[in-house]
Every structure is written in C-alpha cells, then in structure tokens.
Chains A and B, each alone.
Chain A
Amino acid sequence: MTSVRDVGAAWRLYVAAAVLVLVAQLIGIQQLDLGVGVIMFLPLLYAFVLGLVLNPSIVGRFQPFLKSREVAAASPLIVVAIMPFIAKFGTTIGPDIEQIIAAGPALLLQELGNLGTVILAFPLAVWLLKLGRESVGATFSVAREPSIAIVAERYGLKSPEGTGVLAVYVVGTLFGTILYSVMASFIASTGVFDIRALAMACGVGSGSMMAACSGSLAAAVPEMESTILAFAGSSNLLTYATGMYLSLFVALPAVEWMYRRWGRPEATPASAGASTGGDR
C-alpha cells in the first residue's frame, strides 16, 4: 500500500474485515469456568481466528474472494486500526493521572519485569531443550518489532539469533492474543495478584496483546475497568519508550553472558561477543 489508489483497490479486504467485526461482536464475550479459574473469550479473539479462516494463505478455499494482494494490504492496516484503540487507552489515563503518578515506582520497576523472558525462557531453551544460539535471539525480549531490528542489526536475520527472534515474533503474532486473554483472566480469577499489578503486566509493548490481556482482566473484574485500562495503558506506553533500551543494554548483554557461561560450547563462535557490532 503506497498510494491512495491502493487503499481503494483493497475494498474486498474491508468488506471481509467489517463482516468479521460484525460476527465477532454479535458473538460477544463468553466465559468458561474451570473451577480453579475463569477463562474469557473475547470478540477480538474471534475476529483474529475468523480472519485466519478467511485468509487465503491459510485456507485456500477463499482464494476467489481474497487474494495475496489483500493479505499484503492487511498488514499495514493493523497498525492503523490500532490507533483509535490506543487513543482510547490514552484517554483513560488522563482522568486517573494522579493515581498513576502515585503508583509511579511500581510502574517503573515492573518494566524490569520484562526481563522475565530471560529468567523463565532462557533456562528452558538452553538446559531443557538444548537449543543453540537461537536461545539468545529468542529469549532476550518479547520479540516485537524493535527487537527484530536489534537482532537484524547485530546478528543478521539469517543467523541462528535471527531464527530465534523471528520464531518468537511469529508465536506472539499467532498465539499472543489467545495466550494473554486466557492467562490474564485465569490469573485474575485466582485472586493471588493485585489487579493493578496484572494490569501493568499487560503492557508488554504490543497493542493487540495489551487489548487481549486488559480486556479479559476487565471482563473478569468489571468494577475495576477504568483502573485496569489506565494502568495497562501507562505500562504499555512506558514499554514503548523503555523496552528497546532495556532489551538492548540489559537483556541482550545478560543473555550473551549467560550463553557464554552455560550455552552449548561448540555452537559458540569466537566472535559471539556483543562487541562485534553490526558488521555481520
């Protein structure tokens, strides 16, 4: 999509998207009570899954209506379509700005919690699954676009590190919304965590994951909706601002160090250090 004409040419895509929105909204929020906790199913999830069903690269049957041209046009529209949603999140922060500032220390510190990717996933990748340097690219961050840029620059996307970051990127793209909506509502219904803490944890630096996460939190605890949105939105904004630096200057050096110490020795090239810069 580079010209106004391209926007018009993709009209079939808008028809498909509008139908998906209609169907998803009409189904509405559904919940599944597992006894130990409740799982929420949100309209955004149906829209995504039904979108996959209509997607000609996944289900060839719809090829006559939607073609790869429409699929290509859909990609930049994700970012455009999230804008009103992000704007709405911003407007939930303003009225609660004093409460947000009061929770400032917690908001700032929980950004460090994004290093949880390293703590949880690195041992799994290296010790349990015996992965090579893919582990470095896969676990230093939640692998959204800024992380791909970091890996592309430092290792190249064709490197093992590149394979790692791309794999996690795609996992997030395909399963992020469902995983976050299920996890957030389930953990919220167990009552172990402060709901504000869970709301902050929703701000992982991806609009759709934040939507799924805070949406299922709000559906689980409706009386806290405005607080949940304000905290999730603030945390997400902070992640946009700080996430890339945390990944680049803390998480990636830490993972490199851990890999040199505990990783597969035969898979560690001599030049693996962070000091090699962007020349590969």
Chain B
Amino acid sequence: MSTAPTPALQPGARTPDKLPLGVELIALAVVLPMGWLAQLIATDLSPGRAALGMLVLAAIAVLGILIARPTARLRLPAVAWVSVVGILASIPAFPWGGFVVEMVGEIDFLALSVPCLAFAGLAITTRELDIVKRSGWKLLIVGVFVLIGTFLGSAVVAHLTLGLMG
C-alpha cells in the first residue's frame, strides 16, 4: 500500500483535522474545563479534586500525542498511543500506578465523553448532509446494518470464545 495522500483521510473537502502540535495542545487546554464542568455535575468530587483528575488525564493525553508525532509511520492514531500511555500509567505494579488510579478513579467516564459529542454535533457540515441526500435510502439502510453487523459479529465471537474458555 503506497502512502495515502493526507487529503484522502478527510471525507471530501473538509478542513484538515490534523492540527499543528502547539494548536492541538492549546485546544486540549480549551476542552479540559468543559470536561471538568461535566465532572462537577456527574460526580461528588470537589472542584479541586476533579481538576486534579482532569490534569492527570490531560498529562496522559499529552504524552500520547507527543509519542504519536514521531511514530507517524506506524499509522497508529494518537488515540491509540493515549490508550497505551493510560494503560502503562495505571498498572498497579508500577510505582506511579496507585497514584494515577487514585487521581482518575472517580472521574466519570461518561461525563468525559460529553464535550466530544457536543463538538461532533456542532461539526456536522452541509457537506455531510449532502452525502446523505445523494446516497439514497438504500445505502443508509446498509449503513445501519454495517454498524449492527460489526457489533453483533464481535459479540457473538467473544461470547462463544469466553464460553469455551470457561
């Protein structure tokens, strides 16, 4: 597979989603207070405690982003590296594991996803609506079955394998 031109990753003429590093880090600083706000409503954490939790998560995110840049050849998205850093940060056998888990343990994951989905709703462009209009109802139905298919496929295989393993 030859190297894909970057625009190919973008559906159509959308603005490139790849931000320069400095912009990405500042954008992270902008979205953090929104996650914090959501935590204040979703959890019993004090404002200071919730802020600490968010900062630890932000540190993990920044590390992941920093690793993703020079390793771009591996074609692993930054979110994959952020996952890996998150795992390594929270393994209890490591000296920092207990601290990290204590800091982020009570952070509500569901509330953390809310800012992202707010942006997702705000980001839908007329272009995407055009694709829906042009595709026709048949492809939209196929799309729904694709989403159901990947979920059920994985669920069935996982369920059977877990059953076999006892």
Q: Do A and B originate from a single complex?
A: yes
Using a CB–CB cutoff of 8 Å, the interface residues on chain A facing chain B are 1-4, 6-7, 13-14, 16-18, 20-22, 24-26, 29, 42-45, 47-55, 57-58, 66, 68, 70-72, 74-95, 97, 103, 105-107, 109-121, 124-125, 129, 131, 134-135, 138-139, 141-143, 145, 148-150, 152-153, 157, 163-164, 166-177, 179-180, 183-184, 187, 193-194, 196-198, 200-204, 207-209, 211-215, 218-219, 229, 233, 235-237, 240-241, 244, 248, 278
The interface centre, meaning the residue of A49, A51, A169 with most chain B CB atoms within 10 A of its CB, is A51
| Contact residues in A for B145 (Cβ distance below 8 Å) | 120-121, 124
Q: Which of B118-134 contact A (CB under 8 A)?
A: 118-126, 128-129, 131-132, 134
Residue contact B147 to A180, C-beta cutoff 8 Å: yes
Residue contact B27 to A80, C-beta cutoff 8 Å: yes
| Contact residues in B for A233 (Cβ distance below 8 Å) | 83
Residue contact A131 to B155, C-beta cutoff 8 Å: no
| Contact residues in B for A125 (Cβ distance below 8 Å) | 138, 142
A217 to chain B, nearest CB (A): 11
In the assembly, what is the distance between CA of A76 and CA of B30, in Å?
A: 13
Tell me if B67 is interfacial: C-beta within 8 Å of chain A. Answer: no
Residue contact A77 to B135, C-beta cutoff 8 Å: no
Specify the main secondary structure of chain B where it touches its partner.
helix
In the assembly, what is the distance between CA of A74 and CA of B143, in Å?
A: 24
Q: Indicate with 1 or 0, residue by residue over B94-130, a CB within 8 angstroms of chain A CB atoms.
A: 0001001100110101111111111111111110110
The interface centre, meaning the residue of A85, A118, A131, A236 with most chain B CB atoms within 10 A of its CB, is A85
The one of B20, B42, B90, B131 in contact with A25, judged by C-beta atoms closer than 8 angstroms, is B42
Residue contact B117 to A51, C-beta cutoff 8 Å: yes
In the assembly, what is the distance between CA of A55 and CA of B119, in Å?
A: 10
In the assembly, what is the distance between CA of A20 and CA of B121, in Å?
A: 10
Residue contact A85 to B155, C-beta cutoff 8 Å: no
A46 to chain B, nearest CB (A): 8
In the assembly, what is the distance between CA of A13 and CA of B122, in Å?
A: 8
30 CB-based A-B contacts, threshold 8 Å: A7-B30, A17-B31, A17-B34, A45-B117, A50-B118, A51-B120, A52-B121, A54-B121, A55-B123, A57-B124, A68-B125, A74-B119, A77-B31, A87-B104, A93-B83, A95-B97, A97-B91, A112-B153, A112-B157, A114-B154, A119-B149, A119-B153, A142-B147, A145-B9, A163-B134, A168-B143, A174-B132, A175-B147, A183-B151, A203-B154
